[in-house]
A and B are shown apart, each in its own frame.
Chain A
Amino acid sequence: MQRTSSTPRRVTRFADNLLWYVVSIGIVVLFLVPILGTISTSLKSTRDINTMPPQWLTQPVLTHYAAVLNETGFNFKNFFATSLIVAFGASALVVLINLPAAYSMVRYGTGGRRLFAFVVSLRLLPPIVFIVPMFILFQLLGLLDSPQGLVLINSLLNTPLALLLFVGFVQDLPREVEESAMIDGASSWQILRRIVLPLLLPGLAAVLVLTFLWTWNEFLFSLILTLNKATTVTVGASFFVTAWGVRWGEISAAITMSLLPTLLFTFFIQRYLVSGLTLGALKE
């Protein structure tokens, strides 16, 4: 490898780096256009929204946010509260169900490979095939239009990914500590709670956040299984469009508020996205 670089070569290198930055930033901005455009619309006055060419760097106004939060016909605050309850509930339930299950699968081989593969592959099924039986099941159980029902269905939807990630985490744990605890007479539950759980906290946090976000974003089942009492933010925001017609300031404010968890937490789970999104085919 040549170390000495002459001046022209350094200039070429600089120009090449500059080009890389310009193109890369251009690509990133291009993919963020809908998000940035919506946030910016939500902060413009109605007059500026309706002005063409589009106005940029206008004095931000919060009137649309105030309108959304105080609107009487649509109870956005309720949608928001429901989404928070459902997303927290589903995250907690997903961990409670899948962490012990993953531990049992990895350490004791419970269920064998088949159960694991079956559960993980559920992620690939079209959710639409479940809507009719789920609607009737929910009606039988009295779960229609209730946060509890949405917690249940979202727990199911997020279980494949959570189980996959937890199985990976448990496999990466050293067995020695658990084995010596076992020799000291600790029960399986004690080991799970006192040794495995503390070691898995970072991964557990990732599963919580991922489940939270995907539950927050869930649309199909929230649309079908709720009427008005348990409407979530994502479904609620889609109602705004039909109900509010051209009030784009309010619509973008509602969407921006619905985007908050995504904007806050996506970076936190970046590390786990790859293995999660590829069903474990690729681990980072």
Chain B
Amino acid sequence: MIAYSRGPARYFQILPLVLLILLLTIFPTFFAYLISTYQVRLSALDEGTFVGLSNFAKTLSDREFYEALWFSLRFAVVTTGLEMLVGFGIALWFNRKALPGKRIMISLMLLPIMVSPALLGIMFRLMLNSFVGPVAYYLKQAGFPGDKLLTPNYLVFTLILIDIAQWTPFVFLILYSALQTVPKELYEAASVDGATSLQKLRSLTIPLIMPFILITLVIRVIDSFKIFDMIHVLTGGGPGTLTTTISIYIYKMAFNAGDIGRASAASLILLLVLSIPLGLILTRIMRQEAR
């Protein structure tokens, strides 16, 4: 054991990682602080003027900033809620039986997780196209406004639907794996005691896999809150600001309006807002590691 801690090799082994983190996260973060105090445009980076905290003041008094935050929050809550329900339902359904072919079905079920969200957005643009989209056609035949799903009235609903189509398999995968960890004997014992399926679910299954439910919930809320790719490809945040998430707000501020000072200020405010939930998860990961 003493031999293990000898020599400088351990520092050289970790050095590349530390350099990468310093170069690409610590340095850019300090840089973001610097830029946020300047009035500077993307097109003329060397012509900035120091403006103190005015970028923060402008951001905090911008209604669209709050609307974007609010839209992201609602989007995250609604999509996560539905994905948890549907994903847990499917996990319970798959867990009911152990029949041949189940493994292949589960593998296929995972494909949407590994598809680029940007590409999935384009795929749905095709599927829901009012002229050539097969999904639009069949939904319309079934009496739904399938051909109108990409019009402003239904747009938010459609984006939620696409997010669910992509990430329900993620919830399913984790909760299905969690269900596998519940010992079968517990169910048998509960059956002997005369418990109904619903009672078993409520007082046995759910409490036992609660840690997994919570971590899935937290990860999904955070990921859904910061969504960019799929919405950018489908709507670009529009029409107007109808589908502008906080990520799209910052993107538009930096690359459409070209005001990178304000974009940085908005980024830093966002980081501050997120630091509370992120801090909670950080301590959780550290506890995990200590186990």
Contact = CB atoms under 8 A, between A and B. Distances in A.
Contacts of A235: 118
B31 interface: yes
Interface size class of B (residues with CB under 8 A): 35 or more
Contacts of A155: 20
Nearest to B28: A133
B14 A104 contact: yes
Most chain B C-beta atoms within 10 Å of own C-beta, residue among A153, A213, A219, A263:
A219
A250 B99 CA distance: 40
Contacts of B244: none
Interface in B89-147: 90, 93-94, 96-97, 99, 101-102, 105-120, 122-127, 129, 131-132, 134-135, 137-138, 141
Interface size class of A (residues with CB under 8 A): 35 or more
B281 A34 contact: no
A129 B32 contact: yes
24 contacts: A20-B93, A21-B99, A23-B93, A33-B127, A100-B12, A100-B13, A108-B10, A116-B286, A126-B225, A127-B228, A129-B267, A130-B267, A137-B28, A139-B45, A163-B17, A167-B289, A188-B7, A223-B232, A237-B118, A241-B125, A248-B132, A251-B126, A279-B215, A281-B212
A210 to B, nearest CB: 9
A44 to B, nearest CB: 10
A184 B110 CA distance: 46
Given A133-B32, A155-B20, A35 B123 contact: yes
Interface of B: 3-5, 7, 9-14, 16-18, 20-21, 24-25, 27-29, 31-32, 35, 42, 45, 90, 93-94, 96-97, 99, 101-102, 105-120, 122-127, 129, 131-132, 134-135, 137-138, 141, 165, 168-170, 173-174, 177-178, 211-212, 215-216, 219, 222, 225-226, 228-229, 232-233, 246-247, 250-251, 254-255, 260, 263-264, 267-268, 270-271, 274, 278, 281-282, 284-286, 288-290
**Which applies to chain A's interface (DSSP): helix, strand, loop or mixed?**
helix
Contact of A137 (B21, B31, B96, B102): B31
B7 A278 contact: no
A154 B256 CA distance: 24
Given A54-B137, A279-B219, 4 more contacts: A31-B109, A117-B285, A188-B7, A241-B122
Give 4 nearest A-B pairs by CB, closest first: A217-B116, A133-B28, A126-B226, A188-B9
Contact of B263 (A37, A116, A132, A246): A132
Most chain A C-beta atoms within 10 Å of own C-beta, residue among B115, B170, B264:
B115
Nearest to A156: B24
Nearest to B177: A274
A119 B18 CA distance: 9
Contact of A133 (B12, B35, B115, B125): B35
B267 A103 contact: no
A199 B42 CA distance: 49
A109 to B, nearest CB: 8
Contacts of A134: 24, 28
Contacts of B17: 97-98, 101, 119, 159, 163
Contacts of A121: 278, 281-282, 285
A122 interface: yes
Contact of A192 (B5, B13, B132, B212): B13
A50 B35 contact: no
B233 A238 contact: yes
A172 interface: no
Contacts of A41: 126, 132, 134
Contacts of A85: none
A125 B271 contact: yes
A32 interface: yes
Given A219-B229, A273-B173, A278 B35 contact: no
Contacts of B122: 237-238, 241, 251, 255
Contacts of A34: 112, 120, 123-124, 127, 135, 165
A127 to B, nearest CB: 7
Contact of B105 (A25, A52, A97): A25
B24 A20 contact: no
B247 A128 contact: yes
